[in-house]
């Protein structure tokens, strides 16, 4: 398969038709990048190959053997289509049953060496494998669906695990030449990470639990690392923008705090002062005020609003829901109206926006 670019639409993958593409889009998979970075949420451990004579009811197992018989028939009661096969190895023979998959007799034939993974059931004093995962055994070809840690993905009903694993394997094989390492070498050595190509193979098709844990650690690290890089980039971008410095109205602020129906805490005082210092700079402020419910964040915001309005500005105080916006409106109205600051409740739709963001609006009377 020729080298594929990671932004190539996933429909370029052999075997993906229009119906399959629609199902992949429902999963958020539109490009080859989306496909190979769609990780499994768990694994079935079918790595141990067990002799047929050692099978026990209720166990999950992988067997390998030769097909000595395979045929379709309908069940006498429910009239379901059954595909039945006999698989033999050096230790014995076991029956295998699949439901409503008559095409299997075209894919599998007597004499084929196969690997099958699934749960062992007891039926009429005999053992059988019911609807197991299967694949033909070929010398030198790596197994995908059996005889290994088998990945399980979160999928729609119209895509089977076997179909998706096949897509993932084809996608990895095609995309590997396009993937280059993006973490610094120093970081790779310090954190003992595998290179990106090996990590991608191990997150989908690891040879051991340890390989999967190592790959998962790398991608979890990457997620946080790139979030931090993005935040740093945004901060540097903000520093290049000019902002209007706001004067600190010391007397008015002290009078406002003294007039509150409660005494502010040292943490509130310190947070408000840090915000007011930032507002005096000629670069935009970039802060997150964090605290538990009822810790007094709104009072800190009110102090900042007071100084902004006294400096001749208007303030938009946004909230994610209408209920929360009304609560903040009542609180800010109580705090700021006595200071000669008008507080009104408006909707973002009033500005012609499509999204709905309730907010309070503060300005001079």
> Do 22 and 79 belong to one domain?
no
- Where in the sequence is the domain holding 161, given as residue range(s)? 10-43+153-178
Residue 119's CATH number: 2.40.50.140
Q: Which two tokens stand for residue 247?
A: 């004067």
DSSP β-bridge partners for residue 9: 31
Count how many domains the chain has. 4
Answer whether residue 2 is part of any domain: no
pLDDT tens, N- to C-terminus, the chain (365 residues): 455 678 888 887 777 888 899 999 999 999 999 999 999 999 998 888 999 999 999 988 899 999 999 999 998 777 789 999 999 999 999 999 999 999 999 999 999 999 999 989 988 778 999 999 999 998 778 888 988 999 999 998 889 999 999 999 999 998 888 899 999 999 999 999 999 999 999 999 999 999 999 999 999 999 999 999 998 888 888 778 888 899 999 999 999 999 888 899 999 999 999 999 999 998 888 888 888 887 889 999 999 999 999 999 999 888 888 888 899 999 999 999 988 888 988 876 655 554 444 555 555 54
> Do 201 and 346 belong to one domain?
no
> Do 39 and 157 belong to one domain?
yes
Q: Which residue has the tokens 């995962």?
A: 133
| Threshold 0.85, pTM exceeds | no
> Do 34 and 120 belong to one domain?
no
Pairing state of beta strands 149-152 and 42-45? antiparallel
Does the CA dihedral 124-127-133-138 come out positive or negative?
Answer: negative
Number of Cβ within a 10 Å radius of residue 217: 15
Q: Which two tokens stand for residue 142?
A: 């790596």
Residue 30's CATH number: 1.10.150
């Amino acid at each position: 398969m020729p080298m594929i670019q990671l932004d190539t639409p996933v429909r370029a993958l052999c075997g993906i038709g229009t119906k399959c593409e629609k199902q992949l889009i429902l999963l958020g998979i539109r490009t080859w990048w989306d496909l190979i970075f769609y990780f499994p949420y768990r694994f079935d451990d079918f790595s141990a190959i067990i002799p047929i004579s050692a099978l026990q009811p209720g166990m999950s197992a992988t067997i390998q053997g030769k097909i000595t018989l395979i045929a379709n028939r309908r069940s006498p009661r429910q009239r379901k289509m059954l595909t039945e096969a006999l698989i033999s190895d050096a230790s014995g023979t076991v029956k295998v049953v699949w439901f409503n998959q008559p095409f299997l007799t075209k894919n599998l034939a007597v004499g084929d060496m196969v690997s099958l993974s699934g749960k062992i059931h007891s039926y009429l004093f005999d053992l059988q494998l019911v609807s197991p995962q299967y694949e033909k055994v070929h010398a030198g070809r790596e197994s995908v669906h059996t005889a290994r840690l088998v990945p399980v993905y979160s999928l729609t009903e119209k895509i089977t695990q076997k179909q998706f694993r096949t897509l993932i394997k084809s996608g990895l094989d095609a995309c590997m030449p396009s993937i280059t390492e993006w973490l610094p070498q120093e970081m790779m050595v310090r954190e003992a990470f595998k290179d990106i190509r090996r990590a991608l193979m191990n997150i989908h098709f690891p040879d051991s639990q340890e390989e999967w844990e190592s790959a998962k650690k790398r991608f979890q690290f990457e997620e946080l690392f790139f979030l931090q890089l993005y935040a740093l980039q945004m901060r540097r971008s903000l520093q290049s923008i000019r902002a209007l410095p706001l004067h600190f109205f010391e007397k008015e602020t002290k009078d406002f705090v003294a007039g509150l129906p409660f005494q502010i805490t040292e943490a509130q005082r310190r947070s408000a002062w840090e915000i007011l210092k930032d507002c005096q700079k000629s670069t935009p402020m970039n802060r997150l005020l964090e605290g538990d419910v009822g810790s007094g964040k709104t009072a800190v915001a009110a102090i900042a609003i007071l100084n902004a309005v006294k400096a001749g500005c208007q303030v938009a105080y946004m909230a994610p829901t209408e209920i929360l916006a009304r609560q903040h409106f009542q609180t800010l109205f109580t705090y700021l109206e006595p200071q000669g600051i008008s507080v009104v409740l408006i909707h973002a739709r009033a500005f012609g926006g499509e999204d709905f963001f309730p907010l309070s609006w503060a300005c001079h009377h």
